[in-house]
Amino acid sequence: MSFITTLIGTIAFAILAPIVGCLLAGLDRIISARMQGRVGPPILQPYYDVRKLIAKDNVTVSGVDGVYMSAALVFTAFAGGIFFSGGNLLMSAFIITMAGLFFIMAAYSSRSPYAELGAGRETVQVMSYEPMVLLMAVCFYMAAGTFNVSSVFGLSAPVILYTIPAFIGFLFILTIKLRKSPFDLSTSHHAHQELVRGTTTEMSGKTLAKVEVMHWCETVLFLGWTGMFFIWGGPLSLILGIVVALAAWFFEIWIDNNFARVKWQAMLRSAWTVALVCGGINIIVLMLV
Amino acid sequence: MLLIAFLILFPLIIAALLLLLRGDGIRNVVVWVSAVAIAVASIMFAVQYLGSPWKGFEFSSVAADYIACAIGVAISGVVLGFGVKYKNSLAIVLAIIQLVGDLIFEFGFAHNVHVEVGLYVDSLSIVMALIIGIIGSGICVYALGYMIDFQKHLDEHGEGMTELQRKDRRPTFFALMFLFLSAMFVIVLSNNMTWMFTGWEITTVCSFLLIAYTRTDEAINNAFRQIIMNMLGGIAFLAAMFFSVIYAQTLSFQDFVLFGLNFPWLVAVPVCLLAFAGLTKAAQMPFHTWLLGAMVAPTPTSALLHSSTMVKAGVFLLIKLAPLFAVCVIPAQMVILVGGLTFMLCSFMAISQTNAKRVLAYSTIANLGLITACAGVATPEAIWAAVLLVVFHAAAKSLLFLCVGTAEHHIGSRDIEDMDLLFERMPWLARLMMLGIMCMFIAPFGMLIAKWATLVSFVDSRQMALVLLLAFGSAATFMFWGKWLGKLSGIAGSPENVELTVHPSEWASIGLMAIIALVACIALPLMSTLFVEPYIAGIFGQLGGDIAIDNLWISSILAAFVFVILFAGNHGSKAKRADVYLAGVSVDSDDRIYRNSLSGESKATSRNLYLESIFGEGIVRRPGEVLCTIIIVVAIIASGVVPPVL
């Protein structure tokens, strides 16, 4: 029963992904600090931050942002559960978009000028990466013959052999999805932020903690998508997948530290061009083969 | 059979009755009772024929043929009359062409062609009958309260208007609404193409009269644009019937399809013409402007045109033609390309709109484009998706139009930017509107599941261009719905509920639409098995390898979860309330006013992004129209030239 599998996967993801994601976030801060010539915080610093946020007073502007963020968390867990239990890739992509939408709604609900501006930019970000996500899934489908992630274990060769252009395109939009510079338009972890804090301006305490946890889970999920391209059966390929995913993650941190933020026009144009070229070429090739 | 007669004739009688009734009270009673009767009859009809394969009813009547012809003449007469009155030469010319064509067809040409099986039922017509019977009549009920406010507004603020524009034309309005329903039932239940055509033309002229309702210059202009575009489609339909008689010696739609399957090269031209008629009615580019113009009409009209009638007749015809698209390459490519382009470009243009009704109109056109493209692809999966798209679109779009209509009367604006502060006191309406929006574009709701099936069918049939059009169009869809949803999201938190002036009839039908939208989303797996799969099996003899039922159930559960968040979530939380951060000391937090650096007061305002410079109508519209026109012209010419050469 794939339905039960999905539920079990969702629960497992909801427990494990925050742990892995938290460690990754801690490493991210250390690596970033080393790139900038600093020592950086302890690896568990993100966990200490969130623990402190949870202990804070419950203060809100709109009264609904907490509810929306809880929904966003639940949907993130489902998206991860569907993916890591070997379910449908497209379904996972759609559900994570739903989580993103609830995050956007939470930001809008405060009706704060800064948060609204951030939320508006976040919708542009979603619009920028969405075509490539869809085309990536289509290319996976054409290469593997199904959207089911579990099918990769039965393949004779990894999907990447047929989907190099789509994978490059996906790496490009991964920067947007992880909200890394130069595409951290809606909210940023860095100090150079003209929107005060963008989408999360009015969020505090537990609500902000939910945003952090959701971000950890998202990171794990997207790295899972990255690794999926390199797996074709056998535990050894699983290691390859993890190595590639971590390499991609390191690459994103490097980009984050080396590029200045761009305007939304540049983001939209470049992301759509990449989607059209990489996705388009890959689909044409796969259709002809 | 009896039920079919009831569904067609009863609204007709009510329409005649409503024409005579002047009082609000008696009209309320008649509309309520007959709307319920039609809804119940359509449900009984659905239950009786549930899951049945194509089933024809032997029914032919010379009298009915003459009546159909007389109606055709009357329709041309109405258009002719308006054309002369408002000096629109193009409308006059088209009306004359149609009149002459109609008469030649009936008396000189097809007089000896008899159709034994005049009426039929299959799963698709059951789905359509349910949409027309429940959603259509629900909108009629909504119109009761809406039109009272509408007329009051005209009486109070109509100083600058002429006597003609201020006149209380409500009896005609309601009569037209019911006539519309009757004509739609004729279209979806007739196997006789002449009758189908008559229903087709009645819907055209009904929407003409409804759009022209206020008789302002704008209304008249837009009404003429509508009638001209749709009469082009009507004439194409008529021409296709000529071809059908010449080649196939039949006017039975079923026989026409069977003939076409055997001799695809002979029917290329009539299929192209019928598809053209479908494209005009479904407001595909370059004919999309008539649907945008139709917004000038009172909102119930828009709701009716967009959700359950008129444009749905267009896509209904295209879906019916799908078996022929599978064998005729040229019309299929025309429909696929025009539909796909329309989907993407109209989604783009929706981003740049601030007017809520215009956003809805563009989204309707875009979704119709998707349905059109699915019909053209004509694989079992594509048709499965097309039928579900029709259902979900009807439910969600009528809900949204009714919400916007009510909002407009209470906040005095249709601008999305006005929907935050002024809307504050209508939390329930805001939540229903949010539900409608979510149903339109996001997982796990049915619309997206159907879109997903669409994507799969496009990939499987190797429609590379369509995959790209769908990918970029869907992204645009997220943008324009997402920012609207955001504008509404803050309101759900306000505790007060001051919505007392909304008419009960409006609440009743808005509630009905919300329930339909939700039930459709949650019961998606059941609906697929009960209504859609029998049709697919009947047409293709097999089911497509559609989305696994497990995924349908997952989305069904998640849809229910979203519903709980929207309506039962802890909205009035006990959390401490804080003022918004404004980079200065707040003076009035609710109005976002703060003390600036000169000790004066500043108001912080923000506007959503409309990306005019990229997706503005001025940039997108012209290339789209040109491209689609070229595709249509080339396809029609090619369908006449290429098959004989081969």
CB contact under 8 A, A134 and B551: no
% of chain B surpassing 70 pLDDT = 94
DSSP string, B39-78: HHHHHHHHHHHTT---EEEE---HHHHHHHHHHHHHHHHH
pLDDT band at B573 (very low <50, low <70, confident <90, very high): low
Asked which of A122-136, B69-83, B576-590 is least confident by mean pLDDT, the reply is: B576-590
Domain limits of chain B?
282-287+310-570+607-646
Q: Tell whether A284 lies on the interface with B, counting CB pairs under 8 A.
A: yes
- With b for 16 or more beta-carbon neighbours within 10 A and e for fewer, the A78-99 pattern comes to bbbbbbbbbbbbbbbbbbbbbb
Query: Closest approach of chain A CAs to the CA of B574, in angstroms?
Result: 8
In one letter, which amino acid is B512? Answer: L
Return the pLDDT at B348.
94
Is 70 exceeded by the pLDDT of residue A252? yes
Asked which of A117-131, B56-70, B204-218, B550-564 is least confident by mean pLDDT, the reply is: B550-564
**Nearest Cα residue in chain A from B475:** A127
CB contact under 8 A, B577 and A59: yes
pLDDT band at B17 (very low <50, low <70, confident <90, very high): very high
- What is d(CA B527, CA A30) in angstroms, rounded to the nearest whole number? 53
Cβ neighbours of A135 in B, within 8 Å: 467-468, 471
Q: Tell whether A170 lies on the interface with B, counting CB pairs under 8 A.
A: no
Is 80 exceeded by the pLDDT of residue B315? yes
Q: Tell whether A97 lies on the interface with B, counting CB pairs under 8 A.
A: yes
Query: Closest approach of chain A CAs to the CA of B492, in angstroms?
Result: 7
**pLDDT tens, residue by residue, B357-383:** 899 999 999 999 999 999 999 988 889
Distances in Å between the alpha carbon of A37 and those of A23, A24, A32, A40, A257? 21, 20, 9, 9, 12
The range of the structural domain enclosing residue A19 comes to 2-288
Return the pLDDT at B421.
61
Q: Which residue in A6, A121, A287 is closest to B462 by CB distance?
A: A287
Return the pLDDT at B565.
78
Instruction: Write the ipTM.
Output: 0.94
pLDDT band at B426 (very low <50, low <70, confident <90, very high): confident
pLDDT band at B548 (very low <50, low <70, confident <90, very high): low
How many A/B residue pairs have CB atoms within 8 Å? 201
DSSP annotation of B355 reads B
CB contact under 8 A, B581 and A104: no
Strands (E), B239-354: none
Is 80 exceeded by the pLDDT of residue A141? yes
Beta bridge partners of A59: B576
Is 80 exceeded by the pLDDT of residue B644? no
In one letter, which amino acid is A27? Answer: L
pLDDT band at B601 (very low <50, low <70, confident <90, very high): confident
Cβ neighbours of B606 in A, within 8 Å: 113, 116-117, 120
Q: Tell whether A131 lies on the interface with B, counting CB pairs under 8 A.
A: yes
Average pLDDT on B50-66 reads 84
% of chain B surpassing 90 pLDDT = 44
Asked which of B88-92, B165-169, B304-308 is least confident by mean pLDDT, the reply is: B165-169
**pLDDT tens, residue by residue, B450-482:** 888 888 888 888 888 899 999 999 999 999 999
Return the pLDDT at B561.
82
Candidates B456, B606, B619, partner chain A, best to mutate (most A CBs within 10 A): B606
Q: Look at the block and give the residue holding tokens 């999920």.
A: A221
Task: Give A127 or B162, the one with higher predicted confidence.
Answer: A127
% of chain A surpassing 90 pLDDT = 69
- The helix/strand/coil state of B586 is strand
Candidates B421, B455, B478, B612, partner chain A, best to mutate (most A CBs within 10 A): B478
Cβ neighbours of B578 in A, within 8 Å: 59-61, 202, 204
Q: How far apart are the first and last CA of chain A?
A: 34
**Nearest Cα residue in chain A from B609:** A120
Cα dihedral sign, B232-B233-B238-B241:
positive
Candidates A1, A65, A112, partner chain B, best to mutate (most B CBs within 10 A): A112
From B492, B356, B357, select the one nearest B430 (Cα to Cα): B492
Q: Look at the block and give the residue holding tokens 């993130």.
A: A76
Is 60 exceeded by the pLDDT of residue B492? no
pLDDT band at A249 (very low <50, low <70, confident <90, very high): very high
CB contact under 8 A, A117 and B606: yes
Query: Closest approach of chain A CAs to the CA of B463, in angstroms?
Result: 9
Q: How many helices (H) and strands (E) does chain B have?
A: 27, 6
Task: Give B149 or A227, the one with higher predicted confidence.
Answer: A227
Is 80 exceeded by the pLDDT of residue A210? yes
- What is d(CA A230, CA A228) in angstroms, rounded to the nearest whole number? 5
CB contact under 8 A, A113 and B606: yes
- Contacts for B517 with CB less than 8 Å, ≥ 6 apart: B392, B395, B396, B399, B435, B436, B439
pTM over 0.90: yes
Candidates B418, B469, B472, B481, partner chain A, best to mutate (most A CBs within 10 A): B472
CB contact under 8 A, B444 and A94: yes
Q: Tell whether A142 lies on the interface with B, counting CB pairs under 8 A.
A: yes
Beta bridge partners of B120: B56
Residue B256 near residue B248, CB atoms below 8 Å: yes
Return the pLDDT at A82.
92
Residue B317 near residue B300, CB atoms below 8 Å: no
Return the pLDDT at A191.
61
Return the pLDDT at A187.
81
Return the pLDDT at B36.
95
Provide the domain count of chain A. Answer: 1
**pLDDT tens, residue by residue, A2-48:** 778 889 999 999 999 999 999 999 999 999 999 999 999 999 999 99
- What is d(CA B100, CA B345) in angstroms, rounded to the nearest whole number? 37
Cβ neighbours of A123 in B, within 8 Å: 478-479, 482-483, 486, 609
B444 preceded by cis ω (within 30°)? yes
